[in-house]
Structure 1
Amino acid sequence: MQPADLARRPVLVLDFGSQYVQLIARRVRERRAFAMIVRHDISADRVKELDPIALILSGGPSSVYEEGAPKCDPGIFELDLPILGICYGMQLACQAMGAKVDAVPSREYGPAALREVDGSSPLLSDVPTGTTVWMSHGDQVHELGEEFIGLASTATCPLAAVRHRSRPVFGLQFHPEVSHTALGTHILGNFLDKVAGSPGTWTMEAYLDQAVRAIRERVGPDERVVCGVSGGVDSSVTAALLAKALGDRVVCIFVDNGLLRSGERAAVVDMFGRHSEAELRVIDASERFLTALEGETDPQRKRVIIGHTFIDVFRDEAKSIPGARFLAQGTLYPDVIESGGSPDAPAATIKHHHNVGGLPAELGFELIEPLRDLFKDEVRRLGIELGLPEGQVWRHPFPGPGLAVRCLGAVTRERLEVLRRADAIFLEELRAAGLERATGQAFAVLLPVRSVGVMGDGRTYESVVALRCVDTDDFMTADWTRLPAELLARASSRIINEVKGVNRVAYDITSKPPGTIEWE
């Protein structure tokens, strides 16, 4: 097997409901191994089909001894694959092989120091006694039985790490994926490199080569690809990747749907003129979208309407493109996970993504999603690999449905203009403070409520704007940004004074989870 093939053999992360499951996948990828998040009850036969180099069983909120607790197919333990169980995953693996799991007197949450570390084990190689790890559990493995042996303990957890006597099965009661575990990434690296034999070939350079080959193999010499571009990093990287693979057989279409940020259309035209050889067609369909959205307030319906209209516009334009068979979209891995867009992924749908789930067959397009396996930070690295300017690659994300999902309630031209101006002011202040690159995403939201205020000597009853800014590496989890009070004060003052119809500004301090980054 060639290294390029090894790069595509995944590490499967079985999701038992852990809030950290996306973080596990990110940590694995940081160690240059390709991680896929899959449902906890994936069959052993399907695992064999996916041909992974290893399995990781995530943590979760359940107790393994409870009725209805999520379980994995016991057949996976017979595949002789390297397996690492984390917290609940460790308890599940140990229980499946004869160990006993019980509740602890009180839930353990917080830092602990490792004791009695068996450094001869490949999992804990170069992990010294006293290393700080992060605990978060209400159960522990109390009796190992004959199959497992202990590798480390803490003051309150006699079996903080274990291994099977004859199989490549390991368990950690603590969470190596979180930053609070001092050598967590190193421990995961030990599992991947020393136990699973990962070749460490998951890089953006390797991904670029593989993606270009895959596109060329799929798209025939007389066929063309239509690529929707929005000016955001996802669609820009998608277009650049397609252009590298297919050259002038890529036709990029920018749809002005009337839901764009301030200056978006001009910026896209300028960027493509200077940095892309692909053909760019600009379509003004703003009236079509706004008419379709008239009176609609439900966020899921907005997304569906925008998605359908977007596809209709593409279908109409594609009639003038000879040989157009494919439609390319910048779908990312978080989109797929949140939408339940993969048969192997966890089933819960958080929100409907307008660019996930395929196209109606009658449109005559086949879908190409070359970024479907990537997290946002990986897309940025791919963009740099493709030679895109850093200013474009590090631009804050913008949702496919545009300002429609930031204009809560009815979408009208007037309300969109209020939102557009408020959003521009917030981003201007962020850039002036030198904080745009340091944050993951920032934007304004127009709320469907009005607020009493006083301006001059008169009473006002006008709109409320919420500002949202988050820190995130992968956009699967995020924390609200602790922006300087002075910056928020300037942005608030400018919005109230410069945007007619707004008399109150709020700042969103909700993390993801429990919230999502976008409000709708």
Structure 2
Amino acid sequence: MTQTVQDPGLPDGVPDEAPDPAPAEGLSATTPTVDATTAPAPGPTDHRPVLVVDFGAQYAQLIARRVREANVYSEIVPHTASVADVLAKDPAAIILSGGPSSVYEAGAPFVDPDLFTAGVPVLGICYGFQAMAKALGGTVAQTGRREYGGTGVEVTAAGTVLEGSPEQQTVWMSHGDAVHAAPEGFDVLATSAGSPVAAFEDRERHLYGVQWHPEVRHSPLGQATLENFLYRGAGLAPDWTAGNVVAEQVERIRAQVGDARVICGLSGGVDSSVAAALVQRAVGDQLTCVFVDHGLLRAGEAEQVEQDFVAATGVQLKVVDAQERFLSALAGVTDPETKRKIIGREFIRVFEDAAREVVAEAGEEGGEVRFLVQGTLYPDVVESGGGEGAANIKSHHNVGGLPDDLQFELVEPLRTLFKDEVRAVGVELGVPDAIVWRQPFPGPGLGIRIIGEVTHDRLEILRAADAIAREELTRAGLDREVWQCPVVLLADVRSVGVQGDGRTYGHPVVLRPVSSEDAMTADWTRVPYEVLATISTRITNEVPEVNRVVLDVTSKPPGTIEWE
């Protein structure tokens, strides 16, 4: 809705959200806290999106996550999108995110007033609240009293979005400006010491706003506020469930594929396995899964694919040994972006060869495989710069790393889902628990967990260290608590050690245990010291080339989960 601004996010001291356990069923990580019985009954739907307009908020994706936890579909769009572009997506509702700017500064992002005349329910949050007020004729100014962190507010009128809220409550604020006067036609719902107008609504036009951040867990009643907007303010039904996602994707896949042949790059991980299961549900034996052993796998990966996934689903599987091909292509390469692009390119080349073999084995002269299934997720798209205004944090091999001369049409049934939502769909499809609850593993494999050149010897070192870490985390019962624990080999770094009364000069490895809901944000997992000690002792005793084990205690942001 105007220019891009730098995003410092919430102020220092605002922690990333503590991860919620992944849901056992449905797409919601929490049960909706608001009675939705007055909402329209769920029925056939194409799930018009709730659009989160990102004004530079570091946690815009968190707002989208909270909407999805209410079983309502959401997407993120940049504030640079025009009103026409936003409305072209046929949104069921719109949420204006927070952001780091002041609405009265020159060049600050603004909201086109035409957005509020389109008849679409809108909720403004923090900066979005102030931008809404200013666009509609309200007054926004500095109060001289900034509010950061836990702040008490007084609810003077519950209205729609604060229905069920106590008169006094604590919310999470992050602002220096405040709304001093609500626009004409709005009712003031709440106030605080630093915010003369902390919440307002125009119920007739379905326009609402709050100064605080309901998306963070530090606003204890924040989810109820969001659900009030969705269910009562926008009249939406909580009908975006795993069952509906499966049904809708099956229909979309059938419509896209028709009677053509399809191959799926199956890694044995959560994403590709669930994508394959969805496509198999849709087109049956038109699908052949291709498992590429690129030499960058962890110990036991190939066996797990055959024993768990294939045994459970009966899918047709073709195994391709491409270890030498990938290692040759990666020889001498140290730049992580280049690694990802090489791996993405070689995957496609292998799939093209496999497709020709599939046709030949089927004895179909002149036939072809037109479609390639990928387990692309929403975080992959966001981090690869997918969409206007998105920064390219790193190219995922299946998004930014694809070659320009791709000969397949892509089938990506998970492209709009976060990881925990993929798990829920996997449960719905009956994918084995050993795969559904498996720690995520990147498509480029151990190639991006070796800092430096990828070689056969370095892969063997890392494979051994990784197997020990996974074994001990499982033994300690931490597989559900630890979202992912990359083990990283600092291949170009050596450190002095002492073993057997002698000097050693070995490699360090890094343990990176993290907890997350969806990989967009993460915090390091507080693994018990005794478990860390056991992992460290075993690695340094059993992997001769490693003489030091270190722990990465960086959250995301600022660090990504993988080192490369």
Same fold by TM-score greater than 0.5: yes
Q: What one-letter code is carried by the residue in structure 2 that aligns with 1:402?
A: G
* Aligned partner of 1:180 among 210, 215, 218: 218
Q: Which residue of 1 aligns with 2:151?
A: 112
Partner of 2:165, secondary structure, is coil
CA contact (8 A) 1:451 1:464 kept: yes
Q: Please state how far the C-alpha of 1:147 moved relative to its aligned partner.
A: 4.3
Q: What one-letter code is carried by the residue in structure 1 that aligns with 2:473?
A: L
| Distance (Å, rounded) in 2 between the aligned partners of 1:292 and 1:358 | 14
Q: Please state how far the C-alpha of 1:4 moved relative to its aligned partner.
A: 5.5
Q: What one-letter code is carried by the residue in structure 2 that aligns with 1:324?
A: V
| Distance (Å, rounded) in 1 between the aligned partners of 2:461 and 2:143 | 55
| Distance (Å, rounded) in 2 between the aligned partners of 1:134 and 1:299 | 38
CA contact (8 A) 1:425 1:494 kept: yes
Partner of 1:126, secondary structure, is coil
CA contact (8 A) 1:117 1:128 kept: no
Partner of 2:297, secondary structure, is coil
Q: Which residue of 2 aligns with 1:55?
A: 94
CA contact (8 A) 1:117 1:124 kept: no
CA contact (8 A) 1:41 1:72 kept: no
Q: Please state how far the C-alpha of 1:2 moved relative to its aligned partner.
A: 10
* Aligned partner of 2:525 among 454, 476, 481: 481
The root-mean-square deviation of aligned C-alpha atoms, in Å, is 1.7
| Distance (Å, rounded) in 2 between the aligned partners of 1:494 and 1:442 | 16
1:54-453 equivalences in 2 (<5 Å) = 54-119=93-158, 121-164=159-202, 166-221=204-259, 223-322=260-359, 323-343=368-388, 346-356=389-399, 362-447=405-490, 448-453=492-497
Q: What one-letter code is carried by the residue in structure 2 that aligns with 1:433?
A: A
| Distance (Å, rounded) in 2 between the aligned partners of 1:101 and 1:456 | 70
- Between 228-237 and 65-74, report the one with greater CA deviation: 65-74
Q: What one-letter code is carried by the residue in structure 1 that aligns with 2:98?
A: G
| Distance (Å, rounded) in 2 between the aligned partners of 1:106 and 1:150 | 20
Q: Which residue of 1 aligns with 2:55?
A: 16
Question: Can you list the C-alpha shifts for 1:305-331, whole angstroms capped at 9, x where unaligned?
Answer: 000011011111111223311001000
Question: Can you list the C-alpha shifts for 1:144-201, whole angstroms capped at 9, x where unaligned?
Answer: 3534331011233221111237522111111111111111111100000001011221
CA contact (8 A) 2:327 2:455 kept: yes
| Distance (Å, rounded) in 1 between the aligned partners of 2:52 and 2:562 | 26
- Sort the Cα spacing of 1:117 and 1:199 in 2 relative to 1 into closer, same or farther, 3 A: same
Q: Please state how far the C-alpha of 1:465 moved relative to its aligned partner.
A: 0.4
Matching of residue 472 in structure 1 with residue 510 in structure 2: no
| Distance (Å, rounded) in 2 between the aligned partners of 1:14 and 1:482 | 34
Q: Which runs of 5+ in 2 are unaligned?
A: 1-39, 360-367
Q: Please state how far the C-alpha of 1:436 moved relative to its aligned partner.
A: 1.1
Question: Can you list the C-alpha shifts for 1:203-229, whole angstroms capped at 9, x where unaligned?
Answer: 1100100000111111122x1111001
Q: Looking at both structures, which has the greater relative contact order when contacts are Cα pairs under 8 Å and sequence separation is at least 6?
A: 2
- Between 378-387 and 149-158, report the one with greater CA deviation: 149-158
Partner of 2:156, secondary structure, is coil
| Distance (Å, rounded) in 2 between the aligned partners of 1:167 and 1:261 | 56
Normalising to structure 2: TM-score of the pair? 0.89
Q: Which residue of 2 aligns with 1:499?
A: 543
Partner of 1:122, secondary structure, is coil
Q: Please state how far the C-alpha of 1:72 moved relative to its aligned partner.
A: 3.5
| Distance (Å, rounded) in 2 between the aligned partners of 1:421 and 1:138 | 52
- Sort the Cα spacing of 1:418 and 1:126 in 2 relative to 1 into closer, same or farther, 3 A: same
| Distance (Å, rounded) in 2 between the aligned partners of 1:56 and 1:98 | 19
Q: Please state how far the C-alpha of 1:360 moved relative to its aligned partner.
A: 5.2
| Distance (Å, rounded) in 2 between the aligned partners of 1:132 and 1:81 | 29
Q: What one-letter code is carried by the residue in structure 1 that aligns with 2:529?
A: A
CA contact (8 A) 2:341 2:400 kept: no
| Distance (Å, rounded) in 2 between the aligned partners of 1:441 and 1:230 | 16
- Sort the Cα spacing of 1:272 and 1:355 in 2 relative to 1 into closer, same or farther, 3 A: same
Q: What one-letter code is carried by the residue in structure 2 that aligns with 1:461?
A: Y
Question: Can you list the C-alpha shifts for 1:484-513, whole angstroms capped at 9, x where unaligned?
Answer: 111111111111111111111110000001
CA contact (8 A) 1:234 1:379 kept: yes
- Sort the Cα spacing of 1:116 and 1:325 in 2 relative to 1 into closer, same or farther, 3 A: closer
Partner of 1:56, secondary structure, is strand
Partner of 1:160, secondary structure, is strand
CA contact (8 A) 1:358 1:367 kept: no
Matching of residue 509 in structure 1 with residue 546 in structure 2: no
